Amino acid sequence: MDQFVIKTPGLPLHDLFASEPMAVETALAEANQVGCSLLPEIHKAALTRYESGKLAVRLVVGPCQALRLFGLHDDSSKKWFLTKIEGNLPRLLYGDNAVPICSQRDLLVGLTRLRDVLSCFVPPRYHTRILPSLDAQNASYWRTVAFPVHLLDPDGQLLAAFQNLRHPGMRDPTRRFDGESVKLKGTAKSINVYRKDLETLNRYTQKEVPLPEIPVLRIECEWSGAEVVKRAANMGVEVAIEGESSRPRRFSLPLLYRMLRGTLAETGGVFLKENSSGDVRSMARFLGNLAKDHSIPLQNILDAYARDGGRSSRTLRDIRRDAERHLESLIELSITNLLPEDGPPLTPWIQVAKVKEEIDGMQLARLPDPEIARVYHDQFCPLLNGWFDPSQIFHAT
């Protein structure tokens, strides 16, 4: 798990927020001026007044500013309620999401730390309602979950293979940044494929994060709302039915990997440019790629190109020959081979020493909470091979 959103309807905020709205606004403003010393976990705080007159608060909290809390003031009860939690679980564990979560145990430790940090903002009697499924009275639920895998891409061919990525459930055009990323977004799910080493370098100096010798490619899927429910239910996850809505109760790491693999298996337009076709005209490459990407017979494309006119018969003959050669060189990339059923072939990490030292020096849980481990245990499939022993780890010095 990586990015996530938890909806928390009816969860009261800390007694700190029990005072009048204007008093809270003044306290937060003063806290911002002195580095948010109101609570040690608060890094940033902002108060907003909606057109309806309601007050909303946004807090950036936790180790490495891993969490964002959203609260709303209820005028009738004169209380503040936590409405939504957005966060990044690897930041709670490793200080940065350049290190993916690679074991069910680490996932459980991350959820334990999440519960512990949020407990500072919720009255004690509501602590069991922070994480979904820990309490029979719990109305919290997972709204959005994301899951990535990291792969080595020595020659950049793997990233290039995704340049024409498409999915039947995502109608937005594919966004490409040559040599960096490919993004495909739908209303309830998205697929991002990008150079994680370059993205990490954009957030740190090269001294903090030396580029690894082999590029690290991140393939990430994110699911929201009904898509989370559908994917989880299809994998055999127990789903809670509340009124007309259904919500997945819990996740495990192998389950999320299966959700990622299933989503990617539905894609098209992913192929490797192997068996070099030699000196091929650029137009012939374009026409061959067009035929492969969109499953259009090459002959139809060549006929349309010829009808456009302005080219000699010899030029058309050469382009036809080169396009046919190029099309034959394109090999369909099998997602099932790229991501085997028992787990990805390797998990390269990019570890930033600066944030690792910061997170290791904090008083944070090192073991899973027994109740969280019981609820979020992996009952759906065995722990996948390779989750505990990454084949290669990049350490930034």
Answer with the residue of higher pLDDT: 337 or 367. Answer: 367
Q: How confident is the model at residue 393 (pLDDT cuts 50, 70, 90)?
A: very low
| Cβ–Cβ < 8 Å for 3, 85 | no
Strand 141-152 relative to strand 3-12, pairing:
antiparallel
- Record the tokens describing residue 318, joined without a space: 């050469």
Token duo for residue 53: 């007159």
Average pLDDT over residues 112-125: 87
Alpha helices in 235-312 (DSSP H): 253-265, 282-294, 298-307
Query: Rounded to 5 degrees, what are φ and ψ at 311?
Result: -130, 145
> What's the rounded Cα separation, in Å, for the pair 91 and 189?
22
**268-292 per-position pLDDT tens digit:** 777 666 544 445 567 777 787 777 7
Q: How many CB atoms lie within 10 A of CB 30?
A: 12
Q: How far is CA 321 from CA 58, 212, 301, in A?
A: 61, 40, 13
Residues contacting 202, CB < 8 A, separation 6+: none
Is the pLDDT assigned to residue 212 strictly greater than 90? no
Poorest-pLDDT segment among 98-112, 321-335, 343-357, 382-396:
382-396
- 211: phi then psi, degrees, rounded to nearest 5: -65, 135
Between 237 and 348, residue with greater pLDDT? 348
Report the range of poorest mean pLDDT among 61-65, 97-101, 111-115, 254-258: 61-65
Instruction: Give the pLDDT confidence score for residue 148 in this predicted structure.
Output: 93
Query: Which one is predicted more confidently, 2 or 244?
Result: 2
* Pairing of β 67-74 and β 175-177: unpaired
Q: What residues contact residue 300 under an 8 Å CB cut-off, 6+ apart?
A: none
- A 10 A CB-CB count for 366 gives 9
Instruction: Give the integer Cα–Cα distance in Å for 107 and 253.
Output: 7
Mean pLDDT of 246-275: 76
pLDDT in tens, 168-199: 777 777 888 888 899 988 888 999 999 998 88
Band (pLDDT 50/70/90 cuts) for residue 221 is very high
Please check the confidence at residue 354 and state whether its pLDDT lies above 90. no
pLDDT at site 219: 92
Which of 117-131, 330-344, 376-390 has the lowest average pLDDT?
Answer: 376-390
Please check the confidence at residue 249 and state whether its pLDDT lies above 70.
no
Angle, CA of 220, 222 and 228, to the nearest 5°:
140
**Span 217-232, mean pLDDT?**
84
- Residue 120 carries which DSSP code? G
Beta-bridge partner residues of 84: 7, 70
Estimate the crossing angle of helix 226-234 against helix 253-265, to 10 degrees.
Answer: 100
State residue 20's pLDDT score.
57
Which is it for strands 55-61 and 42-49: parallel, antiparallel or unpaired? antiparallel
Q: What are the structure tokens assigned to 387, written together?
A: 């989750």
Cα dist from 61 to 70, 92, 383, whole Å: 11, 11, 32
Q: Mean pLDDT over residues 210-220, rounded?
A: 84
DSSP H or E stretch at residue 260: helix 253-265
Predicted confidence (pLDDT) per residue in 282-336, tens digit: 777 778 777 777 778 888 888 888 887 677 888 888 888 888 877 777 766 777 7
Burial class of residue 346 in the structure, from the number of CB atoms within 10 Å of its CB (0-12 exposed, 13-18 middle, 19+ buried): middle
DSSP letter at 62 equals: S
* Proportion of the chain above pLDDT 90, given as a percent: 8
Contact 188, 111 (CB under 8 A): no
Q: What is the mean pLDDT of the chain?
A: 76
The Cα-based distances of 164 to 129, 249, 267 in angstroms read: 43, 35, 10
The average pLDDT across 362-387 equals 69
| Residue at token pair 């930041």 | 91
Supply the pLDDT for residue 79. Answer: 80
pLDDT at 123 over 90: no
pTM of the model: 0.79
- Find out whether 111 and 376 touch, Cβ atoms under 8 Å: yes
Choose from 52-61, 274-283, 291-300, 365-374 the range with maximum mean pLDDT. Answer: 365-374
- Coil, helix or strand at residue 261: helix
Residue 111 binned pLDDT confidence (cut-offs 50, 70, 90): very high
The b-or-e profile of 260-286 (16+ CB within 10 A means b, else e) is bbebbeebebbbbbeeebeebeeebbe
